[in-house]
Chains A and B, each alone.
Chain A
């Protein structure tokens, strides 16, 4: 039910920010207290990659930056 959430490595995160030419606070957010992040070793400021099913594209990738709850 819950789409796949994974933490991006520092290098990957930097790559992402460069690809979209954004600063972290221009990304969509997810709170640190979100239940999906419960068993992950993450901290505020990390970027989460979400891979989910999409009715239009089959599978789509989304990124969220962790904000303090």
Chain B
């Protein structure tokens, strides 16, 4: 195919002239009837076959084409009386107001006109189209106030627009005929001031005398099962127009009274208006017989269901599927569980060769209903044959190398799996098929983080690549294994979640032991079948080590590391230093920092040494180990997990009392004007920020106390300590004190004058009067506290629901603007025209996915090389 390269310099939109309309039309539509008694389209009707055909079998009488060959041809309707085009009403009212009612000259005095022309030309040349429009708007605004025509001296009167399409001058109605007459009289040279290029059309064309009838192909009729025909909404609307138009013609010819004519004229205007847009606010929408509003021209194009967003920007695809997702920790991380009903419907084309003929014939033999079978066979000349019991024998007979069999999806096929919103490349990954019973897609819970999925009813999409190339490309570039490390900060985004972490954390605690049989049981259940070392009792750390390769080394800190001045390393008394030597976990509890999704350093190290393929298997086994450990020992949370020792109550009370006292002291200082304002802040703002920091400090202190008084043995604290879910702050919220509530970043300052509730004193600046909650959820909030909490809860909910779409759109615009920028081989970042954006990618030239948290650790590399 020859590629034509032409640059589009500009597009011009002009008004369509009645003469052109007549020229492009093929038929004059004169009758509202569609079909004759035989069901054949009537000549001069709306379905006239000169305007194109939608019935198979008929031929277009203009071009002779059949259904898909004929592009359709326009017709026209001659209106008995002109009608106003709704979409041009804003222009028409401007034209009427700015021109003389008698001579139709623009209301600018002749001596000023030359200067205006010069100004407009100059502005257009120097500042562009947009500025010109603004200037013209100013001119028309000034014209409106002129009361006497500078040409003929006629007194001007106010013209009022009665929406949508009625114009009144001094309470006397201007008919479309009057308007058209006035517009016709406007000389070409005056059009410039009205913002209309004389070449782009005449203003009177905005009043419709001829209405183009879109081709039949634009408004195809459908034949229902009962054989009845159902016409398109546009055809219905055009039928209304033709019908009223004919009646108007007849009444005009018969010399009917003016009232009847005017009524019909108004009706015609209504139909013409609703033909263009059916949601004009001042008039009732035209309805179908069933009461459904008709979908006319404007509705076809605009909004989410319109042509742009529904049909052009987004299209439906073949070989895809969508269902609810659910978790299955027993399938591999790079697999996706697919229901059999889906596997039978989605097919993979496979070419028949000498060597796989018997294999593929097996699929064809089983047919479309028996899994794994085949739905279609494609012959070398491109014919598509459906495999059904009647055709199976014939197909089996003729099948030979060169044929293509569209066989059902089977295990290890490559598919692309996706969850919207697709915000980063990990939102679309290639998985291997695993056909499973059930009706949902199954994914390993470790892959929820990259998709940002959960199982509360989320649905995901699946696509089946149809060529060898696309399959290979998906497998090489989009494979789950290749997406483990995120290019955002260089740590594995696929890792263990929630229970996996709790389980491994409990397993690797000091003092956790299992008997040989229990260990054996555990290893069997996660699919690790290697021989156990000769031992009677296994510690948790030894069990974890069973999964590690023998030459694996790793050192890292845990989440609970207290950051002592001098790190004791693996001798850490709190067991906070993870150390793996030659595949043996020597010290440290395994937690979020080692194996968590988005933070697992141990996983990162594993990938560096053994590659992503092996890592996939390792991640899954570690995660499964966590789950199985929890199954074995039992894991639950209870309200009493948040119980704290009675003696700590007084401690918490005194912390809160002190904080309150401190804030009252600040308030007193403020009232006595002894406080110094921060630079750039008022005294009030300074007080607010001081009080808030005092109260927040108090809450943090309380949270520390709670942490020290809760047993780290209870399961709620295990989750918080290991980083599996929640934090010690959440526990403090429940057990002791909710703390300061915030409304748009500050203390709550709404409500009555100078106080939030009428129950407080005016100008009370104390903590309690502005939303400080000193109780915990479990102890119960008092009514004021409860209400404050509800205020901030509602505020933050509204905040998230408004911010998410905004930032989403922001992100979308950025992605669209930056999408074809790439890193070239010389390390520069360039756009599609070769223009340099960055001289070195990221200014340091480092690929984050291949670095240590965005940096290159020279020391490690040295140790590795020199040893």
Cβ contacts under 8 Å, B842 to chain A: 56-57
Considering only CB atoms and an 8 Å cut-off, how many residues of chain B contact the other chain?
16
Residue of B nearest to A63 (CB): B839
- In the complex, are the beta carbons of A57 and B840 less than 8 A apart? yes
Residue pairs across A and B with Cβ atoms less than 8 A apart, 17 shown, are: A20-B828, A20-B839, A22-B836, A26-B833, A26-B834, A27-B835, A54-B843, A54-B844, A56-B844, A56-B854, A57-B840, A57-B842, A57-B843, A60-B840, A60-B843, A61-B839, A63-B839
Q: Which of B826, B843, B846, B854 contacts A21 (CB 8 A)?
A: B826
8 A Cβ contacts from A22-69 to B: 22, 25-28, 54, 56-57, 60-63
Instruction: Decide: A22 and B843 in contact? CB cutoff 8 A.
Output: no
Question: Is B836 a contact partner of A26 (Cβ separation < 8 A)?
Answer: yes
Q: What are the 8 closest A-B residue pairs judged by CB atoms, nearest first?
A: A57-B844, A60-B843, A57-B843, A54-B843, A56-B844, A26-B835, A56-B843, A26-B834
Q: Are B835 and A28 in contact, CB atoms less than 8 angstroms apart?
A: yes
Q: How many Å from the CB of A67 to the closest CB on chain B? A: 13
Count, A-B residue pairs, CB within 8 A: 38
- Chain A CB within 8 A of B837 CB: yes
Distance to closest chain B CB from A68 (angstroms): 16
A20 & B840 in contact (Cβ 8 Å cutoff):
no
> What separation, in Å, do the CA atoms of A36 and B442 have in the docked complex?
59
Closest to A53 in B: B843
B residues near A20, Cβ cutoff 8 Å: 826, 828, 836, 839
Size bracket, chain A contacts: 10 to 19
State in angstroms the CA–CA spacing of A16 and B569 once bound together: 49
- CA distance in complex: A10, B833 (Å): 25
Inter-chain contacts of B844 with A (CB < 8 A):
54, 56-57, 60
Please give me the residue from chain B that is nearest to A23 by CB atom: B834
Contact residues in A for B828 (Cβ distance below 8 Å): 20
Instruction: Specify the chain A residue showing the minimal Cβ separation from B855.
Output: A56
**Which of B830, B837, B839, B846 lies at the interface centre, i.e. has the most chain A CB atoms within 10 A of its CB?**
B839
Q: Which B residues between 26 and 52 are near A, CB-CB below 8 angstroms?
A: none
A5 vs B835: C-alpha distance in the bound complex, in angstroms? 21
**The one of A28, A54, A61 that contacts B837, using a Cβ cutoff of 8 Å:** A28
Which chain A residue has the least Cβ–Cβ distance from B844? A57
Tell me the complex Cα distance, A56–B835, Å.
Answer: 23
Residue in chain A with minimal CB distance to B854: A56
Query: Quick one: CB contact mask for B841-866 with A, threshold 8 Å, 1 for yes?
Result: 01111100000001000000000000
Q: Considering the complex, which residues of chain B in the window 95-113 have a beta carbon less than 8 Å from any beta carbon of chain A?
A: none
Within the complex, what minimum Cβ distance (angstroms) separates A22 from chain B? 6
The CA-CA distance from A60 to B846 in the complex, in Å, is 13
Bound complex: CA A27 to CA B845 (Å):
18
CA distance A28 to B839 in the complex (A): 10
Bound-complex Cα distance A61 to B840 (A): 9
Interface residues of B in 801-851 (CB under 8 A from A): 826, 828, 830, 833-837, 839-840, 842-846
Nearest B-chain residue to A54, judged by Cβ = B843
**In the bound complex, how far is the Cα of B713 from the Cα of A4, in angstroms?**
58
Minimum CB distance partner of A62 in chain B = B839
Closest Cβ–Cβ distance, residue B847 to chain A (whole Å): 12
- How many whole Å from A66's CB to the nearest CB in chain B? 15
B840 — which chain A residues lie within 8 A by C-beta?
Answer: 57, 60
Contacts of B846 in A (CB 8 A): 56
* Docked CA distance A57–B845 (Å): 9
Report the nearest B residue to A61, measured CB to CB: B839
- A56 — which chain B residues lie within 8 A by C-beta? 842-844, 846, 854
Return the contact of B834 from the options A22, A57, A60, A63 (Cβ within 8 A).
Answer: A22
How distant is the Cα of A28 from the Cα of B821 in the complex, in angstroms? 14
CA gap between A20 and B839 in the complex, in Å = 8
CB distance from A23 to the nearest CB of B (A): 9
In angstroms, Cα B834 to Cα A62, docked, is 16
A52: nearest chain-B partner, CB-CB? B843
Complex: how many Å from CA A22 to CA B833?
Answer: 11
Q: With the chains together, A63 CA to B838 CA distance in Å?
A: 9
Chain B proximity of A48: nearest CB distance (Å): 13
Tell me if A27 and B836 are in contact (CB < 8 A).
Answer: yes
- The residue of chain B having its C-beta at the shortest distance from the C-beta of A29 within the complex is B835
Contact partners of B830 in chain A: CB under 8 A: 26
**Whose C-beta in chain A lies nearest to the C-beta of B848?**
A56
